[in-house]
């Protein structure tokens, strides 16, 4: 190849390389220029909202899935962080609001502190409407209420109370020492007939000034302060009402008090029965006003049954029930219902009325009655174990209690051995036949007297008369058999008769509640095994005071007495308390017991009090005016929506409201940054 051709080829190659270099340089400059133009056009380095909205259009399905998953995790993290932040920095606190409806068996009679102690319903409502100088808190400690403080003189006879100055009655009138004096003087008026009269006998109440009241006792009586939990009445409301007409006043059903709740209304049916009673929160209450806005008592005639209090709770018509009988706990226990078991100083006993039934004066007879009772079975079958067997009126935890006292042990054989020495047995069939013949004989005497004038001497008339009498006799015999079937229990295989041929029998009376009905039936069964016929009478709870206690109309009374926080046995066993409204239900009289109870009231020496009550217990156990059966627990039920309830021990059922101002239904949040 010639040199000319080779030179031309080299020249073309160099020209091509040169063009390529120029092109690359221009491309780089152009690209940089393009980017610069784009930036200048948009004015930002990040995409706009419009671009973001269209962002997902450039993603494939896989990329979209992971992007959505990331968003979900991000949202969960935000929520989780928010919940954790609120939980750490915001606290739930009670708030004002809500309505609480409580089912109560019974009905109100006199919502007045002067009378309320005779009716549990009255006492419950009075506790919410009225307040006293002192009160028991949720731990059963005696603390000031309307009082700021008090002091006692060296001789223990003078109590001086300084009162709160910011208290107003529900009608807006100011509270003063005059109201306290008026209340005490009202109780002391015999024409008022207050059951609290004995607690304030011989007490002088005096208003030193508007906010200082002084009590002067005839003798030192340390437990006196416990009686000052009594609700105080407004003088400006009651002063114009005559004492003898006090029980008839409208104010007994529409009360004015200083307590945490104020009366709003009541509802009656056509017969006048109060079936609902409403209270509302008193926002000017001198202590912490309640959180619950409205408090309603709904009244029922019974616990069980389709129209009973328990069914109302189960069907959520009410939010609580004032008392749950032991045998019905299983029907109440369910999800969202809290059962509060409270310790209550109460004993249930059989009180013997020797004035009504002379047989009960005999110590051997009373001993046999006590020995025939299986207390373990009563506690097991009726109370389902919720209680404690007792043998004396001195309860555990009270001065003088002795767990080692001599007990009357259950033994039907020993009881029968005692009675066999007193009276012979007569079998069921023999007694029934004897009773039947006696009743027929009485009928025949009456029949002959009624038909004597119409009889004639003719033979035909005599035959017709005999046939008519025989027919009437057969009819009467059938009627007597039917009557004896109702009168006599075939399970009682034998009876006993006294020397005059009278049947040994007792009339046992008690309140018509499920618990007392079952206990009474067991008692009747125990006593029929020793030949004692027991006639049972059940009286409605709301009528027991008026129909039974007032007249002491019973041979044996099955009843529960609430001792309260005060160990004083005076109201229950001193002879001055035999007459109604005293609570000496056995009508018991013993001079030495009276002396002991009076002395125990006057001393503050705890060792002396223990010594006195132990002697009192020994005498009671020896003379057996009653058979002490058991000390029950008190069960109260509320739904779990009711919070703030913290009571475990009470002195009476109304003490379940000791911390009612802290109960709440509604809640609110409060920021609490740490």
CB 276 within 8 A of CB 299: yes
CA distance 443 to 604: 67
Polymer length of the chain: 674
Residues pairing with 388 in the sheet: 631
3-state secondary structure of 267: strand
> Which strands, in side-by-side order, build the sheet including 204-209?
147-152, 158-163, 212-216, 204-209
Mean pLDDT of the chain: 87
- Tokens coding 107: 């009905």
> pLDDT tier at 152 (50, 70, 90 boundaries)?
very high
pTM exceeds 0.85: no
Give residue-wise pLDDT tens across range 434-483.
777 778 778 777 777 777 655 554 455 666 677 787 787 787 878 877 88
Residues pairing with 347 in the sheet: 561
**Would the pLDDT of 82 be above 90?**
no
For residues 378-398, average pLDDT: 91
CA distance 406 to 618: 9
Q: Strands, E, within 147-302: which ranges?
A: 147-152, 158-163, 204-209, 212-216, 261-268, 274-281, 294-300
3-state secondary structure of 338: strand
Pairing of strands 294-300, 99-105: parallel
DSSP code string of 231-263: PPPPHHHHTTS-GGGGGG-GGGTS---SSSEEE
Exposure b/e, 396-434, CB count within 10 A at least 16 = b:
eebbbbeeeeeebebebeebbebbeeebebbebeebbee
Give residue-wise pLDDT tens across range 221-247.
888 998 999 999 999 999 999 999 999
Residue 5, classified by CB atoms within 10 Å of its CB into exposed (0-12), middle (13-18) or buried (19+), is exposed
CA distance 373 to 630: 12
For residues 295-309, average pLDDT: 93
Residues pairing with 152 in the sheet: 159
Pairing of strands 626-639, 320-321: antiparallel
Given the structure tokens 């328990």, which residue do they identify?
310
Q: Please, what sign has the CA dihedral across residues 588, 590, 593, 594?
A: positive
**Would the pLDDT of 369 be above 70?**
yes
**Would the pLDDT of 502 be above 60?**
yes
For residues 272-279, average pLDDT: 94
What is the predicted pLDDT for the residue at 672?
66
> pLDDT tier at 547 (50, 70, 90 boundaries)?
confident
What is the predicted pLDDT for the residue at 485?
76
Give residue-wise pLDDT tens across range 656-670.
999 999 999 998 876
Residues pairing with 263 in the sheet: 279
What is the predicted pLDDT for the residue at 397?
84
What is the predicted pLDDT for the residue at 318?
97
- Tokens coding 306: 């389709």
Give residue-wise pLDDT tens across range 7-47.
655 566 566 556 555 555 555 455 555 555 555 545 555 56
């Amino acid at each position: 190849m010639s040199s000319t051709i080779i030179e031309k080829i080299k020249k073309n190659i160099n020209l091509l390389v040169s063009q390529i270099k120029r092109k690359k340089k221009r491309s780089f400059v152009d690209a940089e220029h393009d980017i610069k133009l784009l930036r200048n056009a948009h004015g930002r380095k990040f995409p706009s909202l419009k671009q973001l909205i269209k962002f997902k259009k450039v993603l494939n399905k896989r990329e979209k899935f992971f992007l959505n998953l990331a968003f979900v995790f991000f949202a969960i993290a935000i929520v989780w962080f928010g919940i954790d932040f609120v939980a750490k920095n915001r606290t739930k606190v009670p708030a004002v609001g809500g309505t609480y409806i409580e089912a109560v068996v019974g009905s109100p009679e006199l919502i007045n502190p002067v009378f309320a102690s005779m009716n549990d319903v009255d006492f419950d409502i009075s506790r919410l409407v009225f307040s006293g100088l002192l009160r028991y808190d949720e731990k059963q400690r005696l603390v000031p209420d309307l009082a700021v403080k008090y002091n006692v003189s060296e001789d223990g006879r003078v109590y001086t109370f300084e009162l709160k100055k910011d208290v107003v009655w529900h009608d807006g009138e100011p509270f003063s020492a005059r109201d306290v004096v008026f209340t005490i003087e009202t109780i002391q008026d015999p024409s008022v007939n207050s059951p609290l009269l004995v607690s304030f006998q011989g007490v002088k109440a005096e208003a030193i000034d508007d906010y200082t009241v002084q009590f002067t006792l005839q003798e030192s009586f340390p437990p006196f302060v416990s009686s000052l939990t009594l609700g105080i009445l407004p003088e400006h409301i009651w002063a114009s009402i005559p004492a003898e007409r006090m029980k008839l006043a409208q104010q007994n059903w529409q009360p004015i008090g200083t307590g945490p709740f104020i009366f709003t209304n009541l509802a009656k049916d056509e017969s006048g029965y109060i079936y609902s009673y409403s209270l509302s929160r008193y926002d000017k209450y001198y202590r912490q006003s309640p959180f619950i806005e409205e408090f309603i008592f709904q009244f029922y005639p019974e616990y069980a049954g389709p129209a009973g209090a328990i069914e109302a709770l189960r069907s959520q018509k009410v939010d609580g029930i004032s008392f749950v009988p032991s045998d019905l706990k299983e029907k109440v226990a369910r999800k969202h219902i809290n059962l509060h078991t409270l310790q209550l100083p109460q004993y249930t006993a059989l009180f013997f009325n020797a004035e009504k039934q002379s047989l009960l004066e005999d110590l051997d007879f009373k001993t046999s009655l006590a020995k025939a009772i299986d207390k373990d079975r009563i506690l097991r079958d009726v109370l389902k174990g919720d209680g404690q067997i007792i043998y004396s009126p001195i309860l555990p935890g009270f001065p003088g209690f002795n767990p080692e006292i001599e007990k009357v042990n259950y033994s039907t054989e020993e009881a029968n051995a005692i009675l066999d020495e007193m009276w012979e047995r007569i079998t069921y069939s023999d007694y029934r036949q004897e009773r039947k013949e006696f009743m027929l004989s009485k009928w025949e005497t009456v029949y002959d007297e009624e038909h004597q004038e119409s009889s004639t001497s003719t033979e035909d008339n005599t035959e017709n008369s005999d046939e008519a009498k025989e027919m009437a006799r057969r009819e009467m015999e059938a009627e007597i058999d039917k009557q004896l079937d109702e009168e006599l229990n075939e399970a009682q295989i034998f009876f006993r008769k006294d020397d005059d041929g009278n049947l040994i029998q007792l009339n046992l009376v008690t309140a018509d509640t499920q618990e007392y009905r079952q206990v009474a039936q067991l008692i009747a069964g125990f006593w029929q095994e020793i030949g004692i016929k027991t006639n049972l009478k059940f009286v409605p709870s709301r009528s027991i005071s008026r129909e039974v206690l007032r007249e002491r109309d019973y041979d044996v009374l099955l009843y529960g007495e609430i001792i309260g926080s005060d160990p004083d046995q005076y109201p229950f066993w001193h002879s001055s308390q035999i007459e109604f409204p005293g609570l000496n239900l056995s009508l018991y009289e013993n001079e030495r017991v009276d002396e002991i109870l009076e002395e125990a009231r006057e001393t503050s020496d705890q060792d002396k009090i223990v010594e006195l009550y132990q002697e009192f217990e020994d005498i009671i156990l020896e003379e057996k005016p009653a058979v002490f059966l058991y000390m029950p627990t008190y069960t109260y039920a509320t739904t779990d929506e009711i919070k703030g309830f913290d009571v475990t021990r009470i002195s009476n059922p109304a003490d379940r409201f000791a911390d009612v101002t802290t109960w709440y239904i509604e809640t609110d949040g409060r920021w609490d940054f740490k």
